[in-house]
Amino acid sequence: MSEKARQFGEQFTVSLESETDFVGWRAAARALALAGTPSSAVTFLTPSATSQSLFAEASSPLPRPDDDVTFSISKVFVQKAETASHHSDPDRYNFLYHLLVRVLDEPNLMKIASDSDIRRLEAMVKSVRRDAHKMHAFVRFRKIGDADATEDDGRYVAWFEPDHFIVEREAGFFMRRFAQMNWSILTPKGSIHWDRETLSVGPPAKRSDAPADDATEELWRTYFSNIFNPARLKVKAMQAEMPKKYWKNMPEAALIPDLIAGAENRAKAMVAAMPTIPPPTHAAIRERHWSAEMDDTGETPPPPADDLESLRKQSETCRLCPLHEPATQTVFGEGPANARLVFVGEQPGDKEDIAGKPFIGPAGQLFDATLEDAGIDRSTVYVTNAVKHFKFQPRGKFRLHQKPNGDEIQTCRWWLGQELKLIDPDLTVALGATAAQSLLGRSVAVTKERGQLLESREGQRVFITVHPSFLLRIPDEKRKAEERDRFRDDMIAVRELMAA
C-alpha cells in the first residue's frame, strides 16, 4: 500500500451526500484504505453533522490509488456495514472506516464475536433491524378521501417516528405488501409515497401532515381491549416488546392505562362470582345432540361381532391396553373377508399409524414386492397385525419403533382371534416372532421354527417366517440379498401349500 498519505500526516474529511450515502462512503473508504490511510486521519461527515459544524467543510481531495492495486473484503462485512450505515450514531461512518482498516489487517476479524468492535457493529446492526421490524409492525395507516368511496379509492397515510435512517430502506416491504394501494409514510427523517406504480421519496414531514383519525380505529380499539385477558396481566412483557415511545402513534395504546388499572378487580370478580344456572338452550342442545351418544369406553372387549366390518368398527374405540393413548388410531386388518390366506405382522409403524392402513410403510412395500415375485395375488390375501396400535418412543421429529411386550400381545390377541374366527382361512402366515407368539401362545424362536407348519391355539394351520422389516435392517448387501431370496422362497412355499 502507498505510504504517501501517512508520510505527510495528511488529514482527510469526507462529506457524504446524505445520511444513508453508503455508496459514497464505500468509494471514499476504498481509496483511503488503498492509500494506507489510518482511521485517525479520516473524518466522515453526514449532512446533519455538516450543517451543525461552524465551517461547512468541503471534502478534501482523496488519495488516487495506483491502478493496479485492488483489494477484496468479506461479503459479510459489506452487508453488515451497509445495515449499520442506517444507524443514527453520528460517528457511524468513522467507526465503519476504523473497522474496515482492521478487517484488512485481520481477515478473520468478522468471525470473532468476542471482539469489542465486532460487538459494537453487531449491536448497531441489531438496533437497525429492530427499528425496521418495529416499523413494519407499528405503522398505522389512516385512510383519507371520501368516506363512502370504496376502500381502494382512498389514500392511506401513516405517521411514524423511527430511531434510525430506515424509511427508504423499508419502502420495499410496504410496496410488496400494499402494492395495489396508494399510501404514504411520513416521518421526521423523510417520507415515502407509493401510487401503485412508482415510489417517491420526500423530505421530512410533521405529524400534522398526517390525518388525525380513521373510523376503523374504533373497531380496532374494540378488538384490542377485548383480546386482552385481565387475569394474565404482564405489563413488563408488553413494554419490552412495545416500548412507550411508540405509543403516541398507535390508536390502541391510549386504552392501556385503564386496562391495566381495571385488570385486578376484573380477575377477582371472575373468581368470586357464583356459578349460574345453565340457560334453557343447554338442555335442548343436550337432548338434540348428545342423547344418542353411546357409552362405549372401550375398556372391556365388546360382544363378538358377526362380521368383519362390525368388528373393525368396534376396534376403533379400543382401550384395552395403554398403547391406544400415544397412538393415532387402531390399525385394523385389511383384505377380503373370504380370504383363504392371512398374513400377520407385528404392529403398525409410523406410516401405518397416520394412514390407518396396515403394511403401507417400507416393510409393507417390500412385502408386496415379494408376494408378486412369488406369484401370490396380493388382492386375495388378508393382512393384519398381532398388535393394532403403534408402540413408539418419541425422538425429536421421529418415532422409534418399540417391541410390544407379552401383556400387550396377549391383550390384543382378542382382536386377532376374532378376525381369524370370522375369516377362517386355510393358512395363516406369522411374519416374525411377535406374530408367532400371538398365534401359538408361546414364545417362538423364528430361526429354529421357520418354514414349519404348526398349529395355532385354535387349531388353525400356521406357517412361520421372518418379518420383512428384518430384511430392511441388514447392513451387509450380500447377506441382505440372500435373506430376500430366502423370504421369497418362503412365500413360494406358502403358495404351494395353498395349492396343495
Partner 1 sequence: MTKMSVRDKLAILSDAAKYDASCASSGSAKRDSRKGGIGSTEGMGICHAYAPDGRCISLLKILLTNFCIYDCSYCINRSSSNTRRARFTIEEVVDLTLQFYKRNYIEGLFLSSGVIRSPDDTMGEMVEVARRLRIDHGFKGYIHLKTIPECDPVLLEQAGLYADRLSINVELPTDSGVQRLAPEKKPQTIRRAMGTVRGAIEERGERTIKTKRKPRFAPAGQSTQMIVGADPTPDAIILKSSAQLYSSYHLRRVYYSAFSPIPDASAALPLMKPPLMREHRLYQADWLMRFYGFANDEILEGSSDGMLDLAIDPKLAWALRNRHFFPIDVNRADREMLLRIPGLGTKAVAKILQVRRYRTLRLEDVGAIVQSIQKIRPFITAAGWSPGGLTETENLRVRLAPQPEQLSLF
Task: Name the residue nearer to partner 1 (CB basis): 250 or 366.
Answer: 250
Cβ 435 to partner 1, closest distance in Å? 24
Cβ 237 to partner 1, closest distance in Å? 3
Do residues 498 and 429 lie in contact, with contact meaning Cβ atoms separated by under 8 Å?
Answer: no
* Residue 46 CB neighbour total at 10 angstroms: 21
Phi, psi (rounded to 5 degrees) for 392? -150, 165
How many Cα neighbours within 13 Å face the side chain of 246?
A: 20
What's the start-to-end Cα distance of the chain, in Å? 94
The answer for residues whose C-beta is within 8 angstroms of residue 45's C-beta and 6 or more apart is 13, 14, 15, 16, 53, 57
Task: Name the residue nearer to partner 1 (CB basis): 64 or 119.
Answer: 119
Task: Name the residue nearer to partner 1 (CB basis): 52 or 216.
Answer: 216
Provide the residue count of the chain: 500
Longest CA pairwise span in the chain (Å): 110
Cβ 379 to partner 1, closest distance in Å? 23
Supply the angle between the helices 362-374 and 477-499 in degrees, to the nearest 10: 50
C-alpha cell at 108: 478473520
Do residues 24 and 96 lie in contact, with contact meaning Cβ atoms separated by under 8 Å?
Answer: no
Task: Name the residue nearer to partner 1 (CB basis): 226 or 379.
Answer: 226
Q: Do the bridges between strand 392-395 and strand 453-455 make them parallel or antiparallel, or are there none, so unpaired?
A: unpaired
C-alpha cell at 181: 394501494
Cβ 158 to partner 1, closest distance in Å? 7
Cβ 126 to partner 1, closest distance in Å? 11
The answer for residues whose C-beta is within 8 angstroms of residue 21's C-beta and 6 or more apart is 46
Task: Name the residue nearer to partner 1 (CB basis): 115 or 163.
Answer: 115
Do residues 432 and 444 lie in contact, with contact meaning Cβ atoms separated by under 8 Å?
Answer: no
Cβ 266 to partner 1, closest distance in Å? 9
Task: Name the residue nearer to partner 1 (CB basis): 115 or 449.
Answer: 115
* Residue 394 CB neighbour total at 10 angstroms: 9
Cβ 139 to partner 1, closest distance in Å? 5
C-alpha cell at 408: 400387550
Do residues 158 and 139 lie in contact, with contact meaning Cβ atoms separated by under 8 Å?
Answer: yes
* Sign of the four-CA dihedral 285, 286, 287, 291: positive
Cβ 188 to partner 1, closest distance in Å? 19
* Residue 122 CB neighbour total at 10 angstroms: 14
Task: Name the residue nearer to partner 1 (CB basis): 100 or 135.
Answer: 135
Task: Name the residue nearer to partner 1 (CB basis): 216 or 338.
Answer: 216
Task: Name the residue nearer to partner 1 (CB basis): 391 or 484.
Answer: 391
Cβ 29 to partner 1, closest distance in Å? 25
* Sign of the four-CA dihedral 99, 102, 107, 110: negative
Task: Name the residue nearer to partner 1 (CB basis): 148 or 476.
Answer: 148
User: How far is it, in rounded angstroms, from Cα 466 to Cα 469?
Assistant: 8
Task: Name the residue nearer to partner 1 (CB basis): 285 or 453.
Answer: 285
Do residues 110 and 118 lie in contact, with contact meaning Cβ atoms separated by under 8 Å?
Answer: yes
Cβ 297 to partner 1, closest distance in Å? 9
Cβ 124 to partner 1, closest distance in Å? 16
